[in-house]
Amino acid sequence: MKKFALSLAFIALIFTSCSSDDTEETVKTPVTGEITGDLTVSKTYAFGNYTLKGFAKVASGVTITFEAGSTITADPSNGEDAFVILNGGKLIAVGTATEPIVFTATTKTAGSWGGIIMYGDAPIVNSATAAAPQTATSEDGLVLPYGGSNAAHNGGTLKFVRVEYAGQVITQNNKEQNGFSFYSVGSGTILENLVSYKGNDDGFEFYGGTVSLKNAISYGNSDDAFDWQDGWRGQESTNWYAYQEGAANYGMEIEAKGVNNAFFPKVTNITLKRAAGTVTEAQTEIQLDAIQFKAEGNGDYSNILIDGYKNQTTPTTKNGGVLQIRDITTYNNQVVGGKIKLTNVTINNSDNIFISGATTFTVTAASFSPAANWGVTTTATGASLTAGNWSTVNGASLIK
């Protein structure tokens, strides 16, 4: 009886092994569809290829989900496009390193569409005299209010998402969009492993809020790689990688709308690289810095690797620098006042360390108070990112 039972078990094992070996891997077939207009009902978009037409707006109380590997393609031939998450709405776009979710454009040209725009009601500051909570009006052409008192606002989860060819500029300095635009987005929102690729404005821009950004690549964007205003105060941001080429402004542009805040953002593990021959986007300004502080911008930054911010000789002569302090108020209140901290900074292939934005002050290492707020080393490693399909375009890795 025991022998018979053992024989049955052995036969079952053989058939199980054969069945496992003969099983073919399931190949998913992408669906197709169109996304447009006001999205007023929660929906999951299955793995597929979708055409984005116009401003698709996720309404308050609605959750829109995209499955991993999906591609959403803007078609600018039909007018202005963007994917907008209104305050109270949520976007769940969770890709993987091998199957990212990609938002792109048919034209493959910078500035073809408006990118991802998210609204919340987390705190902002744009006035030194107005009482909290403060609000402002968006500069994306939608002219929507943002700001509030909900620091934990949750606009959803974005992981392994790449935005390509965004940064639509309709009216310079008035109606502009970026790769990712975060208007008073709160700390309940998860932003991880995001790529902004070859846009015509900023890669990532924060308009106040408390959200943090982890594992981010800003590659080939025409304005700033990372930019913020309105007192953005994310505390857990890490692993930021910027590569600037062609025409570009700052690696990081930091401002706080002229308000001397008691709070500040914190970012660790930063790499800012500028390709040889890269010129400034706006030739009328000194915009060749890895990092620029202005209008009371401040913050705590550490483990920073900076490479390639050299002097520009053509089409006009400009100084290249690691750090520019734009105005005397920022110099006095934030640098001397001890609210700008940059530690473990390694500088390669850059002509100047400091640039003063006015003749009324001179930035030096001795300007920082306490002295430990500025620290140059040779050991900074910068951003630590894992390569994969999420960070690869046309077969080329974006992590250089």
Q: Tell me: the pLDDT tens digits for 168-221?
A: 887 655 678 999 999 999 999 999 999 999 999 999 999 999 999 999 999 999
The answer on 153 and 83 residing in a single domain is yes
Q: With a cut of 60, say whether residue 34 has pLDDT above it.
A: yes
- Which range marks the domain in which residue 332 is found? 257-390
Q: Distance between CA 26 and CA 28 in Å, rounded? A: 6
Q: Is residue 125, in this structure, part of any structural domain at all?
A: yes
Residues 6+ apart with CB under 8 A from 19: none
Of 92, 146, 86, the residue nearest 117 (C-alpha): 86
* Structural domain ending residue among the three candidates 234, 249, 274: 234
The answer on 268 and 217 residing in a single domain is no
Q: Distance between CA 394 and CA 392 in Å, rounded? A: 7
pTM of the model: 0.93
Q: Is residue 196, in this structure, part of any structural domain at all?
A: yes
The answer on 131 and 90 residing in a single domain is yes
Number of structural domains (the chain) is 2
The answer on 175 and 51 residing in a single domain is yes
Q: Is residue 242, in this structure, part of any structural domain at all?
A: no
Q: With a cut of 50, say whether residue 4 has pLDDT above it.
A: no
The answer to whether the beta carbons of residues 82 and 114 sit under 8 Å apart is: yes
The answer on 116 and 203 residing in a single domain is yes
- Quick: pLDDT tens for 252-293: 999 999 999 988 999 999 999 999 999 888 756 656 799 999
Separate counts of helices (H) and strands (E) for the chain: 2, 30
Q: Measured in Å, how far apart are the chain's first and last C-alpha atoms?
A: 67
The answer on 277 and 190 residing in a single domain is no
The answer on 165 and 47 residing in a single domain is yes
Q: Is residue 8, in this structure, part of any structural domain at all?
A: no
The answer on 316 and 193 residing in a single domain is no
User: Mean pLDDT lowest for which of 16-20, 36-40, 382-386?
Assistant: 16-20
The answer on 154 and 207 residing in a single domain is yes
The answer on 164 and 116 residing in a single domain is yes
